[in-house]
Structure 1
Amino acid sequence: MAGGSRLRAWGAPFGGLMVVLAALTACAGPYQYYEGTGVHDATAAEVAGGWESVEGTRVVLRKDGTALFEKLDGQDFDFEDDWRLSGTGTWQLTDDDGGQVVRLTLTARTRVENRSPSTVTDTSATEPPSTYAWSFYTDRDQHDELKLFFFYGDPDIGNTYVMTRETGA
């Protein structure tokens, strides 16, 4: 019996440690360890121009560093707030060890829309921001064409919001 009680004495703390470790690793999704695409060859001239995504999202990055935003959703958990921002701002191409990132800043909001029509008035909804900043990773597709993306929603899932070159441009 003495051996059985020693086993139980070790089993409870060990089991508790396993529960804590499982909880900690369950929150470690792909975004949390994302180190970039490794793309370092994009130029500001290549990034400049019109970009589009789903549901009418459009971003124009001008060569002078200014930007126009139309119906751009929030990134990370802000996406779940359902707002889409339009307005003007700035952009810049940065480079670090993981790859290049396009940093966009909305400085003057001109319009706010929702992705889905609201059927119930939700008084707990947060007010959409009047200014906002996005970080788009740069990447290349199978044809070596540049694309921009950020993560949205729960970081554990790793959903990407992809912007591609405007087709009408």
Structure 2
Amino acid sequence: MAGALAGEWRGPEGARFSLSKAGEFTAVRLRGQEMDFDEHWSLSGKGTWEVLDSYKGGRTVADGKMVKLIIKNGKSSAAQDGQEQLDGSNTTPTGQKKAPTTYTWMVSVKKEGKKLRLYYVVGDPDTRWLCQFTHA
């Protein structure tokens, strides 16, 4: 499974990340998951990743495998209220939290035909949607 997940993944708002076969993870402008997404921050940096056979906790999208992504000492960016694209600035608009420098994502793996997709759930529990990533 790890070999099939290695490579570049692209998602919404210009977010992308790469997974190496050696367990290294590099992210660019990756938004937080669940309620953290609504804080309008993103995180870029390097860390580690691993495939989990099972996961109990949080909201998952697919049955089966999960991928745990961890960044430590990342660089945070903030988006303006209501702005669809992250602007890459390092300022925090009034009333918004700055991104943490260390963060863990729990990402679901879903097979669609011969392709794999990665997903995590974002947003308020009443208006959740899927942050989806495709293999580049």
TM-score by structure 1 length?
0.65
Q: 2:43 maps to what in 1?
A: 85
The count of residues paired between Structure 1 and Structure 2 equals 121
Counterpart-to-counterpart distance in 2, 1:82 and 1:111 = 11
Aligned-residue offset at 1:54:
1.7
Aligned-residue offset at 1:127:
2.3
- Tell me which protein shows more strand as a share of its residues: 2
AA paired with 2:73?
A
Of the three residues 3, 19, 34, the one matched with 1:76 is 34
Dislocated runs of 4+, deviation >2 Å: 155-158
RMSD: 2.1
Question: Using CA pairs below 8 Å that are at least 6 residues apart, which structure has the higher relative contact order?
Answer: 2
Of the three residues 46, 50, 64, the one matched with 2:8 is 50
Aligned-residue offset at 1:76:
0.3
In structure 1, list runs of 5 or more residues that go unmatched: 1-42
> Are residues 1:161 and 2:131 paired?
yes
Q: 1:137 maps to what in 2?
A: 108
Greater CA drift, 86-95 or 151-160: 151-160
- Tell me which protein shows more helix as a share of its residues: 1
Given that residues 71 and 113 in structure 1 are in contact (C-alpha distance below 8 angstroms), is that contact kept between their aligned partners in structure 2? no
> Are residues 1:152 and 2:122 paired?
yes
Q: 1:114 maps to what in 2?
A: 79
Aligned-residue offset at 1:111:
4.2
Q: 1:5 maps to what in 2?
A: none
Counterpart-to-counterpart distance in 2, 1:137 and 1:93 = 10
In structure 2, list runs of 5 or more residues that go unmatched: 56-62, 88-92
1:45-68 per-position Cα deviation (integer Å, ceiling 9, x unaligned): 001111001221110001111110
Larger Rg computed on CA atoms:
1
AA paired with 2:29?
K
1:25-45 per-position Cα deviation (integer Å, ceiling 9, x unaligned): xxxxxxxxxxxxxxxxxx000
Identity over aligned residues, as a percent? 31
Q: 1:24 maps to what in 2?
A: none
Q: 2:68 maps to what in 1?
A: 103
